[in-house]
Amino acid sequence: MQWIVLIGDENFNLSSIKSIIHNDAVQSYGVTEISGRYCFDFGKDHIFYDFSNDIINDYTPEELLKIPFKNPMFIMMVYTSEERMRKVLQQKNYLNNIYIDNDHGLIVPISEFIKHGMPVS
């Protein structure tokens, strides 16, 4: 599995994610075995969202300067299909006021991430 980190303001949480219709998902549910995890099941692939404020501890002071939010919230988007991740992020109904950290040095607004071709390696 691969992941990117979604970063939003202090109001960003799993409810923000749950409110988005993920096209082609056959079901969605909270994962009881892992606290703070929500899953969108597409049949042969899945997208998991993991909410944890501890993620901020993984950032250097220089990286935090790239994030414009005073009290940023972090959700790790774990996916089994890069193609599915790309489709979901490009949906018209997806959040447009968040930043993406591709875990390879790029921390940018979602629009820039999409414009750059959504690099994940």
| Domain residue spans of the chain | 2-115
Q: Give pLDDT, residue 35.
A: 87
Mean residue pLDDT across the chain: 95
| pLDDT tens readout for residues 55-112 | 999 999 999 999 999 999 999 999 999 999 999 999 999 999 999 999 888 999 999 9
pLDDT score for 120: 87
- Per residue in 36-59, pLDDT (tens digit) is 999 999 999 999 999 988 999 999
Among residues 113, 109, 118, 121, the alpha carbon closest in space to that of 7 is found at 109
Task: Give the model's pLDDT for residue 91.
Answer: 96
Specify the pLDDT at position 34. Answer: 87
Report the 10 Å Cβ neighbour count for 96.
10
pLDDT(18) > 90: yes
Who's near 83: CB < 8 A, 6+ residues apart?
Answer: none
- Interatomic CA distance for residues 49 and 61, integer angstroms: 25
Residue with tokens 């250097």: 60
